[in-house]
Amino acid sequence: MALPKLATSPSFHALVGAHSFMLGQVAWHYRPTFFRPVPHQRTLSGTPRRRDEKQQQRPPAQPTTSPEDSPNFSLPDGWEDNPQYSNITQFSELPHRFFGYNQHIKINEDFKESLRQILWQFRAPIRYAFAYGSGVFGQSGSASKTSAGLPEGQSLSPHPDPPKAVEEWQKGGAKVIDFIFGVSHTQHWHSLNLGQNPHHYSGLRYLPYSSAAISYVQDGFGAGVYFNPYITVNGVMIKYGVVNLNTLANDLNDWTTLYLAGRLQKPVKILRDDPRMRLANQINLLSALRTAMLMLPEKFTERQLYEKITALSYMGDPRMMSIPGLGASENMSKVSNIVGAQLPGFRQLYVPLIENLPNIEFTDARTPREPAWEKEDAIRHTGSNVELAADVLGGRDGLELTQDLDPVKRGNMVRRLPSAFRKKVYYQYKKKFGIPGSAFDPILEASEDEGKEGEMRRREGGDFERKIAAQEDLDQMIAKCVNGTVAWPATSQTIKSFFTAGIGRAWRYYADKRKKGKEGAKKKAAEEVAKPEAVVQEAKEKEKKE
Task: Give whole-number Cα distances, 61 to 27, 33, 92, in Å.
Answer: 33, 28, 16
Q: How far apart are CA 390 and CA 395, in angstroms?
A: 6
Quote the pLDDT of residue 394.
Answer: 85
Q: Which residue, among 440, 438, 414, 411, has the nearest Cα to 425 in the 3D structure?
A: 414
Asked if 145 contacts 176 with a C-beta cutoff of 8 angstroms, the reply is no
Q: How far apart are CA 423 and CA 204, in angstroms?
A: 37
Q: How far apart are CA 190 and CA 195, in angstroms?
A: 8
State which residues of the chain have pLDDT below 70.
1-74, 140-156, 172, 321-332, 376-390, 451-456, 504-546
Q: Which residue, among 179, 183, 259, 264, has the nearest Cα to 223 in the 3D structure?
A: 259
Q: Residue 52, Cβ neighbours under 10 Å: how many?
A: 11
Question: What secondary structure, in 3-state letters, does 370-417 show?
Answer: CCCHHHHCCCCCCCCCCCCCCCCCCHHHCCEEEECCCHHHHHHHHHCC
CB neighbour list of residue 209: distance below 8 Å, 6 or more residues apart: none
Instruction: Count CA atoms closer than 13 A to 536's CA, side-chain side.
Output: 10
Asked if 479 contacts 211 with a C-beta cutoff of 8 angstroms, the reply is no
- Predicted TM-score (pTM) of the model is 0.79
Quote the pLDDT of residue 55.
Answer: 37
Tell me the CA end-to-end span of the chain in Å, nearest whole number: 112
Asked if 338 contacts 306 with a C-beta cutoff of 8 angstroms, the reply is no
Q: What are phi and psi of 237, to 5 degrees?
A: -80, 125
Helix pair 419-433, 437-446: axis angle to 10 deg: 150
Q: How far apart are CA 348 and CA 375, in angstroms?
A: 6
Quote the pLDDT of residue 39.
Answer: 40
- pLDDT tens per residue, range 248-265: 999 999 999 999 999 999
* Radius of gyration of the chain, Cα coordinates, nearest whole angstrom: 30
Q: How far apart are CA 230 and CA 177, in angstroms?
A: 10
